[in-house]
């Protein structure tokens, strides 16, 4: 009896042995911890509209080397217990109005390496397909906002009309401007043509001129400076407002407290700084919800005025949108 029991236990141990080796099982099964965050989307309601924030991933940047006041930048990041380079979120926003599906910005597509370009995967994970998008609203033409429009020269959103302030294509798609621009900006011109021109060729690019109602409940707000034609989009339904700004803030740790700090990507740094001051002041005074492309995902919250500068008040997480 004892002999039999021992043999049975031994047999069970032999069978169970490999299965109990947890790391091997996890790897073979594909479950458990993995070195990536996905899917990345976050849902909220805005009146009758359904909003889905979509992560395109991140861009890692040592912002102290590309911003106007390196000492202020380094101190702000140290105070926030954050190391440089920092991973800047790249957020896109899908607004389902019930009759139209409107995507604000498209992420970086294939332009920024493997830490970005996740928009389409996250769109699908959230229950939508690229073919579902009726309208794309670009805050501005820049690799991490318009880059996801096309991959391999093909339109990612085949049915979508793409809207942008006329000043941005007039600048970024014009070879004349490229030859006059600093050499550090050449790549942006090339990437702009590569990703926006397929929509021009298909007759799917629409331009507007400054503050405009694009579709019922969504109007553009000029934010000129960072690029010649940057705009934010005010989304409103049943009296609830969500303002989706473009590149008003790249580094939250610095630029809410110090709105005068600019970044090398600004085409006109003085105008960009003045626009930031205006938009922050308006957001603090009016108290609407803000969504920011480079604020830590999902980049939703409110702006509060301080004696000097502003602070960011992230929206609390909600499990049931
Ligand atoms: Zn930009």
For 77-108, the DSSP string reads HHHTT--SSEEEEEEEEEEE-SS-EEEE----
How much of the chain, in percent, has pLDDT values that exceed 70?
Answer: 91
Q: How far is the CA of 33 from the centre of ligand 1 (A)?
A: 33
What is the arithmetic mean of pLDDT over 119-135? 98
CB atoms inside a 10 Å sphere around CB 283: 22
Reported as a pLDDT band with limits 50, 70 and 90, residue 282 is: very high
pLDDT bin (cut points 50, 70, 90) of residue 29 is: low
29 CA distance to ligand 1 middle (Å) = 41
User: pLDDT higher for 31 or 78?
Assistant: 78
What is the pLDDT at residue 38? Answer: 78
Q: Convert the pLDDT of each residue in 215-232 to its tens digit.
A: 999 999 999 999 999 999
Q: What is the DSSP letter of 248?
A: T
In the chain, domain spans: 2-14+41-314
Q: Which two tokens stand for residue 303?
A: 């702006």
Residues 6+ apart with CB under 8 A from 211: 219, 220, 221, 222
State both tokens at 125: 């994970």
60 DSSP β-pair partners: 87
- Strand, coil or helix: what is 285? helix
Burial 141-163 (b: 16+ CB within 10 A, else e): bbbbbbbbbbbeeebbbeebbbb
Q: Tokens at residue 316, please? A: 């609390």
Question: What's the CA-to-centroid distance between 139 and ligand 1, angstroms?
Answer: 9
CA–centroid distance, 144 to ligand 1, in Å, is 7
Query: Quick one: average pLDDT of 25-35?
Result: 69
Rg (CA), the chain: 23
What distance in angstroms lies between residue 111's CA and the mean position of ligand 1's atoms? 14
Tokens of 78: 């140290």
Pick left, alpha or beta for residue 44 (phi over 0 → left; psi -120 to 50 → alpha; otherwise beta): beta
Distance, CA 251 to ligand 1 centroid (Å)?
Answer: 12
Q: What is the pLDDT of residues 153-212, one digit of tens each?
A: 999 999 999 999 999 999 999 999 999 999 999 999 999 999 999 999 999 999 999 999
- Report CA(30)–ligand 1 centroid distance (Å): 37
- The Cα–Cα gap between 73 and 84 comes to 10
Q: Is the pTM of this model over 0.85?
A: yes
Which residues lie closer than 8 Å to 108 by C-beta, 6 or more apart? Answer: 56, 57, 59, 90, 116, 117, 143, 144, 147, 148
Structure tokens of 223? Answer: 């934010």
CA of 142 to the centre of ligand 1 (A): 5
> DSSP letters along 198-242, please?
HHHHTT-EEEE-SS-EEETTEEEEE-TTSSTT-EEEEEEETTEEE
Q: For residue 94, what pLDDT is reported?
A: 98
Using one digit for the tens of pLDDT, what is the confidence trace for 236-253?
Answer: 999 999 999 999 999 999
pLDDT at 28: 53
Q: Compute the mean pLDDT over every residue in the chain, rounded to the nearest whole number.
A: 92
> CATH top-level class for 2-14+41-314?
alpha beta
pLDDT at 14 over 60: no
Q: What's the confidence (pLDDT) of residue 37?
A: 85
């Amino acid at each position: 009896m004892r002999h039999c029991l021992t043999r049975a236990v031994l047999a069970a141990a032999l069978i169970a042995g490999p299965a109990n080796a947890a790391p091997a099982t996890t790897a073979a099964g594909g479950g458990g911890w993995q070195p990536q965050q996905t899917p990345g989307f976050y849902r909220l309601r805005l009146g009758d509209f359904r909003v889905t924030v979509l992560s395109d991933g991140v861009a890692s940047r040592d912002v102290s080397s590309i911003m106007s006041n390196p000492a202020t930048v380094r101190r702000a990041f140290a105070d926030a217990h954050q190391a440089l380079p920092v991973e800047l979120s790249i957020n896109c926003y899908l607004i389902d109005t019930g009759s139209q599906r409107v995507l604000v910005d498209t992420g970086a597509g294939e332009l920024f390496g493997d830490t970005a370009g996740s928009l389409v995967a996250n769109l699908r994970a959230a229950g939508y397909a690229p073919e579902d998008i009726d309208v794309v609203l670009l805050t501005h033409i820049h690799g991490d906002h318009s880059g996801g429009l096309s991959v391999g020269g093909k339109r990612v959103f085949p049915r979508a009309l793409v809207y942008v302030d006329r000043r941005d294509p007039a600048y970024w798609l014009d070879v004349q401007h490229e030859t006059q621009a600093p050499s550090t900006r050449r790549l942006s011109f090339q990437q702009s043509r590569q990703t926006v021109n397929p929509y021009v060729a298909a007759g799917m690019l629409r331009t507007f001129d400054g503050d405009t109602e694009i579709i019922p409940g969504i109007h553009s707000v000029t934010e000129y400076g960072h690029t010649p034609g940057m705009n934010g989009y005010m989304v409103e339904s049943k009296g609830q407002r969500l303002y989706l700004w473009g590149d008003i803030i790249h580094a939250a740790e610095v630029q809410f407290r110090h709105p005068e700090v600019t970044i090398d990507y600004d085409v006109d740094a003085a105008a960009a700084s003045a626009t930031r001051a205006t938009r922050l002041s308006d957001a603090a005074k009016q108290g609407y919800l803000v969504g920011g492309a480079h604020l830590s995902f999902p980049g939703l919250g409110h702006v509060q005025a301080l004696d000097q500068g502003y602070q960011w008040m992230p929206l609390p997480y909600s499990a049931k949108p």
